[in-house]
Amino acid sequence: MNIVVCVKYVPDAQAERTFNASDNTTDRDNVDGLLSELDEYAVEEALKIVEAGEGEVTVLTVGPAQAADAIKKALQMGAHKGVHVDDDAIHGSDAVATSLVLAEAIKKIGNEAPVDLVVTGMASTDGTMGVVPTMLAERLGLPAVTFASELTIDGGAGGTATIHRDGDASTQTITATLPALVSVTDQINEPRYPSFKGIMAAKKKPVEKWALADLGIDPSQVGLDAAWTKVEAFAARPPRSQGEIVPDEGDGGRKLAAFLTEHKFV
Amino acid sequence: MFELSQDHEDFRAVVRDFAENEVAPNIAKWDAASYFPTDLVPKMGELGLFGLVVPEEYGGAGESGDFTSLCVAIEELGRVDQSIGITLSAGVGLGINPILTYGTEEQKQRFLPDLVAGRTLAGFGLTEPEAGSDAAASRTRAVRDGDEWVIDGAKAFITNSGTEITSVVTVTARTGTTAAGAPEISAIMVPAGTPGFIVEPAYHKLGWHVSDTHGLTFEACRVPIDNMLGEPGQGFKQFLKTLDDGRIAISALAVGCAQACLELATDYAKTRIAFGRPIGVNQGVSFQLADLAVMVEGARLLTYKAAWLKDELHAGRRSVAEVKHAASIAKLYSTEAAVSATRIATQVFGGNGFMEEYPVARFYRDAKILEIGEGTSEVQRMLIARGLGLPA
């Protein structure tokens, strides 16, 4: 199995995140970045698949120089090699352009050995759109089986991928033939912590650095100017208001029930 | 020159993440219940924490690991909770190290792989109810009877000795008398569950509630003669050799404690409002935090210098005497700084600092033992003074 996991380097969701005043893109300089926590599930799932059988996990990211940290974390967890697409022209790219770069990079990875499975997180913790997996599958002509809370591979490369997708009212079981793209939720596994040995081994693992030219992508197709959507303006959300205090005059329970019903909490 | 390597820092980030996700959310509950989280130990094993100074053939990190990494791990666990930090420190320093250093190949194969993986824990029984700093006054005896040692006596304050996964406790015991009439003390491994090896109920301690500590009683406890660890009559000397590591490890634990106090108290001083302003604007508070920052920095530098010397000794570039001296200095300063740090932090928190809802209260209770365990402050001063060449 030759698996590519797409990961994103994002500003720490625990920190106070903001935008650059100059072009309204994400501020990466004043906030610590890390491997998107939702992508850790994708890395873990890929590792479990190759550990149960055989194969190799390549971790792919598109991002600025610091994004190398996201690859490093995935390699520390156990991924075998990394590909980092970094090009100044990519700055400000939207989901459409990001999926283009990822798709071309995966095609290039596939030139060496065919890619059997592409795994992604369900969304990034910064953009939270969750559309890149489907766009990417479309560009690659792969079946997209998304929001997997369980993933089973049968028959290895050339076999099938079967997922469980938990909805509000039902759980769907979906099977796709490989090669395919699977996006996974935070319910699918418990991502491992890198071990000391993993940290040491990661230093020796190969990481390829590619620019747009290596992928044959014209810079005009990506970046802020090519984006279909743009952040026009941003403003800090007003501080949370005090909330409503309801005095209990013997009917507190009823008022509470009414509140919960009104907001469809019950 | 004054930075740890990138590898150490990468490792620190992982251990911090682990401590904040696996320990922090549960620790108040565990502490209140004096609960030893057995399930956490194999997770620590998976991270590689128990194998940082162990060769690869027993599952350890081999040459890529070092003592400095172990100190980083102890500091980071200790920054979230001291009990978890000491569980690692004692697990390696007292459980694994003696077997690794003095064990036969058969003994190492039997115990180390499980200990390194965190599937089991081991303890070391030196201290007795009547013999603490004066360890040579040990009364526990082992008498040879055919192919067995018959052990009688009692040990006190033995860390990791009574957990569900404790596999073995190594105890020092008198095995005879030297030609000069002094007691001959040897180390003997007693597997958990051996008849006559009685684990007393857990102590009711001021702090370290999550750490497993028991008194042990030996009543005609029989183990095979092959269970002797190292040379007969060398038990005490062997133990003293492992103490230096333990002192540096306790120093790292103290750094974690002081670091936690600095972070907690600084955050609180920024957010707690009194008289319309954050209390940190008052020099009465800010100067104490400045002192705290100096203590943390001093303790950290002394600790990692000692750890570095220890690694250099391992590589044959430094002497034992240098390491001993540095270990005593680090242990003395860091542990006393940690106790001061908890006092300052609690004071900054005011009445809240006296409440168990706030972690500073736990650190306040936990810190005191740092000045006592693995050689009291008094013993360290004695050793440091001796190192100055003063008349004994």
pLDDT tens digits, A191-241: 999 999 999 999 999 999 999 999 999 999 999 999 998 889 988 888 888
Radius of gyration of chain A (CA): 21
In this complex, the residue of A193, A197, A199 whose CB is nearest that of residue B10 is A199
Q: What is the average pLDDT across A12-36?
A: 86
**Distance set, CA B23 to CA B30, B124, B160 (Å):** 9, 25, 18
Tell me the pTM: 0.90
Q: Do A193 and B18 lie within an 8 Å CB cutoff?
A: yes
The answer to whether residue A170 is domain-embedded is yes
Return the residue in A32, A34, A193 with the most chain B beta carbons within 10 A, the one to mutate for interface testing.
Answer: A193
Name the minimum distance, in Å, from the CA of B94 to any CA of chain A: 21
Q: Do A197 and B64 lie within an 8 Å CB cutoff?
A: yes
The answer to whether residue A100 is domain-embedded is yes
The answer to whether residue A255 is domain-embedded is no
Q: Do A203 and B7 lie within an 8 Å CB cutoff?
A: yes
Query: From CA B204, how far away is CA B200, in angstroms rounded?
Result: 12
Q: Concatenated DSSP letters for B320-366? A: HHHHHHHHHHHHHHHHHHHHHHHHHHHHHHGGGGGSTTSHHHHHHHH
pLDDT on residue B1: 67
pLDDT on residue A159: 94
> How would residue A113 be classed by pLDDT, with cut points 50, 70 and 90?
very high
Q: Is B18 an 8 Å CB contact of chain A?
A: yes
Q: Name chain B contacts of A76, Cβ cutoff 8 Å.
A: 10, 14
The answer to whether residue A98 is domain-embedded is yes
List pLDDT tens digits, range A234-265. Answer: 888 888 887 888 888 999 999 999 989 998 88
pLDDT on residue B392: 64
Q: Do A193 and B10 lie within an 8 Å CB cutoff?
A: no
Query: From CA B97, how far away is CA B90, in angstroms rounded?
Result: 9
Query: From CA B83, how far away is CA B253, in angstroms rounded?
Result: 10
In this complex, the residue of A72, A193, A203 whose CB is nearest that of residue B47 is A193
pLDDT on residue B58: 98
In this complex, the residue of B7, B17, B48 whose CB is nearest that of residue A195 is B48
Instruction: Show the tokens assigned to A96.
Output: 């459409």
The answer to whether residue A133 is domain-embedded is yes
CATH of the domain at A142: 3.40.50.620
B235-271 vs B283-314: helix axis angle to the nearest 10? 150
Q: Is A185 an 8 Å CB contact of chain B?
A: no
Nearest CA among B85, B13, B20 for reference residue B303:
B85
* Residue A36 · residue A70 · CB < 8 Å: yes
Q: Do A196 and B11 lie within an 8 Å CB cutoff?
A: yes
- Closest residue of chain A to B19, computed from CA coordinates: A193
The CB density around residue A189, as the number of other CB atoms within 10 Å, is 19
pLDDT at A22 over 90: no
Nearest CA among A3, A228, A207, A208 for reference residue A98:
A228
Q: Name chain B contacts of A193, Cβ cutoff 8 Å.
A: 14, 17-18, 46-47
In this complex, the residue of B10, B18, B48 whose CB is nearest that of residue A197 is B48
The answer to whether residue A198 is domain-embedded is yes
Q: What is the average pLDDT across A163-179?
A: 95
Return the residue in A192, A196, A200, A204 with the most chain B beta carbons within 10 A, the one to mutate for interface testing.
Answer: A196
Q: Do A203 and B49 lie within an 8 Å CB cutoff?
A: no
Q: Is B24 an 8 Å CB contact of chain A?
A: no
**Distance set, CA B67 to CA B74, B143, B249, B314 (Å):** 11, 37, 9, 9
Instruction: Please report, in tens digits, the pLDDT of each residue of chain B (392 residues total).
Output: 689 999 999 999 999 999 999 999 999 999 999 999 999 999 999 999 999 999 999 999 999 999 999 999 999 999 999 999 999 999 999 999 999 999 999 999 999 999 999 999 999 999 998 887 776 788 999 999 999 999 999 999 999 999 999 999 999 999 998 888 888 999 999 999 999 999 999 999 999 999 999 999 999 999 999 999 998 888 878 877 777 789 999 999 999 999 999 999 999 999 999 999 999 999 999 999 999 999 999 999 999 999 999 999 998 999 999 999 999 999 999 999 999 999 999 999 999 999 999 999 999 999 999 999 989 999 999 999 998 888 76
* Residue B242 · residue B250 · CB < 8 Å: no
User: What domains appear along chain B, each with residue ranges and CATH number?
Assistant: 6-120 (1.10.540.10), 124-234 (2.40.110.10), 236-387 (1.20.140.10)
Tally of domains in chain A = 1
Name the minimum distance, in Å, from the CA of A167 to any CA of chain B: 28
Q: What is the average pLDDT across A28-34?
A: 85
The answer to whether residue A237 is domain-embedded is no
Q: Which residues span the domain enclosing A25?
A: 2-226
Q: Is B51 an 8 Å CB contact of chain A?
A: yes
Q: Do B47 and A196 lie within an 8 Å CB cutoff?
A: yes
Q: Is B125 an 8 Å CB contact of chain A?
A: no
Q: Which helix (H) or strand (E) holds A78?
A: none
pLDDT on residue A77: 98
pLDDT at A32 over 80: yes
The answer to whether residue A8 is domain-embedded is yes
Name the minimum distance, in Å, from the CA of B64 to any CA of chain A: 7
